[in-house]
C-alpha cells in the first residue's frame, strides 16, 4: 500500500513538473513546464481583469505599496513562520498521542511540504494531507498509516470548528458595530451551515465503521472496472480494511482523550490568531487600521471556502477577488482593499510557496541520498 501511494504521489509530482523521472533517481531539480505556471497566470490575469472592470486606480495601488511601512510588513511576514509552526504543533500533539513519534523539526518541514503541494496541485483541501501521509509512511512504514490518517482527520475537524467559531464571532462583532450587509450575513450563514454539514459528515464517517467499509468496497469496485481485471484488488482491499480498522481505533482513542484534543484546539486557535494578526498588520503597514471584525469575517469566509473538501482550485485568482470584494463591501475603499489583498497574498501564497518548495526539495534530496546509501550498503 505504501509503494502504491508513493507511486501515485510521485506521478502527481511529475505531472506538475516538480520531480521528473530521472530526478527520482539522481536529483530533485525542478522542471518548469506550462502546467506549473498556467494556473498562477490565469489567477493573476483574472485579478487584473477584475480590477479593470471595477475601474480601480492601479497607479494609486502602486503608490500605496511603495509608501507601506516595511518594518510592520516584515513583522507580518515573520508571522507566516509562526502560523505554520503552531499549525504543525497542533497536528503533532495528535500524532504523538497515537504513538507515531515525529520530531518538532520534521513535523514543521512536513507541513511546509504539504503547503507547497496545496499550492501547486488544484486539490488544496486534500493534497497537503496526502503529502503528510506519504512522507510519514515512507519513513516509518505502512503500519502507522491508519494513525496518521486519524490525526489528520482530527486536525481537519478542529480547524473547521475554529473557522466556524471565527465566522460566528466576527459576524457578532459586526452586528454590534454597524449594519451588516445582507450579502455578508447570508454568505456567512451559508458557509457556517455547509461547514457544519461537512463536520457532521466527517464525524459520522469516523464513528460509523460500516460506512467506511462500504466506501472501501465501492472504491475497489470502481478500480476493478477501470482496470478491466488488470489489477488484483484482493490485497489492496485487505490493506485498506486494516488501515480503516486502525483509523477507527485511533479516533476512539481521541474520544477518550479530551485533554489531548483540547491542547490541539488551543494551539490551533493560536495558529489561526497569528494568521489573523498577519492580515491586520498588512492594513497597519498601509496606514489604514481596520476593525478586527472585518478581518475575522473576511478571512474566515475565505478559509471556510478553502477548507471544504471538494478539490476546488482555489489558488487561481478567486481568493484575491473574494478578499477585495469583501473588504470593499465592509466599508474599505477599493484601492486600499485591493492593495491589502495583494500584499496579503504575497505572504500567504508566494512566500509560502518558496519556503514550501525549499522544504520539499530538502526532504526529497535527503530521502534519495538515504535510498542510495541503503542500496550501496546492500550491494556491499
Q: Cβ distance 145 to 2 under 8 Å?
A: yes
Of residues 306 and 6, more confidence is placed in 306
- Lowest-confidence range among 4-8, 132-136, 312-316? 4-8
Of residues 317 and 335, more confidence is placed in 335
Q: In whole angstroms, give the CA distance from residue 18 to residue 11.
A: 10
* pLDDT tens sequence across 302-321: 887 766 544 444 455 677 88
* pLDDT tens sequence across 70-118: 999 999 999 999 999 999 999 999 999 999 999 999 999 999 999 988 8
At residue 174, the pLDDT reads: 87
Q: Cβ distance 181 to 327 under 8 Å?
A: no
Q: Cβ distance 342 to 320 under 8 Å?
A: yes
Q: In whole angstroms, give the CA distance from residue 129 to residue 118.
A: 9
At residue 128, the pLDDT reads: 84
For residue 17, the 8-state DSSP code is T
Q: In whole angstroms, give the CA distance from residue 165 to residue 171.
A: 10
Q: How many CA atoms lie within 13 A of 98 on its CB side?
A: 28
Domain range annotation of the chain = 2-20+30-374
Residue listed under C-alpha cell 460500516: 210
Q: In whole angstroms, give the CA distance from residue 127 to residue 245.
A: 23
Question: How far lies 369's CA from each of 25, 109, 242, 358, 374, in Å?
Answer: 9, 17, 31, 17, 9
Of residues 2 and 205, more confidence is placed in 205
Q: In whole angstroms, give the CA distance from residue 95 to residue 261.
A: 11
At residue 264, the pLDDT reads: 96
CA triplet 8, 14, 15: central angle to 5 degrees? 90
Residue listed under C-alpha cell 486494516: 242
**Mean pLDDT value across the chain:** 80
Q: Cβ distance 4 to 134 under 8 Å?
A: no
Closest CA to 17 of 38, 1, 3, 2: 38
At residue 229, the pLDDT reads: 61
Q: In whole angstroms, give the CA distance from residue 93 to residue 63.
A: 45
Q: In whole angstroms, give the CA distance from residue 339 to residue 100.
A: 43
Q: In whole angstroms, give the CA distance from residue 139 to residue 294.
A: 43
* pLDDT tens sequence across 229-275: 666 666 777 777 777 888 888 888 998 889 999 999 999 999 999 99
For residue 180, the 8-state DSSP code is P
Question: How far lies 135's CA from each of 45, 139, 354, 358, in Å?
Answer: 34, 6, 19, 16
Amino acid at each position: 500500500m505504501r509503494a502504491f501511494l508513493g507511486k501515485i504521489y510521485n506521478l502527481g509530482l511529475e505531472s506538475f513538473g516538480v520531480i521528473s523521472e530521472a530526478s527520482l533517481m539522481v536529483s530533485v531539480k525542478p522542471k518548469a513546464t506550462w502546467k506549473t505556471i498556467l494556473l498562477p497566470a490565469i489567477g493573476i490575469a483574472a485579478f487584473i481583469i477584475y480590477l479593470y472592470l471595477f475601474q480601480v486606480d492601479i497607479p494609486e495601488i502602486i503608490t500605496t505599496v511603495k509608501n507601506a511601512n516595511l518594518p510592520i510588513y516584515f513583522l507580518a511576514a515573520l508571522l507566516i513562520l509562526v502560523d505554520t509552526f503552531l499549525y504543525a504543533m497542533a497536528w503533532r500533539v495528535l500524532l504523538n498521542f497515537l504513538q507515531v513519534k515525529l520530531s518538532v523539526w520534521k513535523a514543521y518541514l512536513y507541513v511546509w511540504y504539504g503547503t507547497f503541494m496545496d499550492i501547486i496541485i488544484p486539490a488544496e483541501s486534500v493534497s497537503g494531507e496526502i503529502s503528510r501521509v506519504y512522507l510519514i509512511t515512507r519513513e516509518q512504514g505502512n503500519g502507522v498509516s491508519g494513525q496518521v490518517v486519524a490525526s489528520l482527520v482530527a486536525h481537519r475537524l478542529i480547524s473547521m470548528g475554529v473557522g466556524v467559531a471565527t465566522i460566528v464571532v466576527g459576524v457578532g462583532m459586526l452586528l454590534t458595530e454597524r449594519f451588516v450587509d445582507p450579502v455578508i450575513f447570508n454568505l456567512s450563514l451559508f458557509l457556517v451551515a455547509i461547514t457544519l454539514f461537512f463536520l457532521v459528515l466527517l464525524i459520522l464517517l469516523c464513528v460509523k465503521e460500516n460506512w467506511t467499509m462500504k466506501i472501501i468496497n465501492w472504491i475497489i469496485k470502481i478500480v476493478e472496472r477501470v482496470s478491466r481485471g488488470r489489477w488484483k484488488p484482493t490485497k489492496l482491499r485487505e490493506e485498506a480494511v486494516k488501515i480503516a480498522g486502525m483509523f477507527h481505533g485511533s479516533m476512539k482513542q481521541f474520544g477518550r482523550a479530551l485533554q489531548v484534543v483540547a491542547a490541539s484546539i488551543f494551539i490551533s486557535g493560536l495558529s489561526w490568531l497569528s494568521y489573523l494578526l498577519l492580515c491586520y498588520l498588512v492594513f497597519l503597514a498601509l496606514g489604514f487600521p481596520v476593525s478586527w471584525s472585518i478581518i475575522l469575517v473576511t478571512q474566515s469566509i475565505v478559509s471556510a471556502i478553502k477548507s471544504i473538501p471538494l478539490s476546488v482550485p482555489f489558488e487561481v485568482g478567486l481568493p484575491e477577488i473574494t478578499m477585495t470584494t469583501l473588504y470593499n463591501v465592509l466599508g474599505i475603499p477599493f484601492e486600499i482593499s485591493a492593495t491589502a489583498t495583494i500584499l496579503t497574498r504575497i505572504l500567504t501564497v508566494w512566500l509560502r510557496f518558496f519556503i514550501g518548495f525549499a522544504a520539499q526539495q530538502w526532504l526529497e534530496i535527503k530521502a534519495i541520498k538515504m535510498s542510495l546509501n541503503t542500496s550501496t550498503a546492500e550491494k556491499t
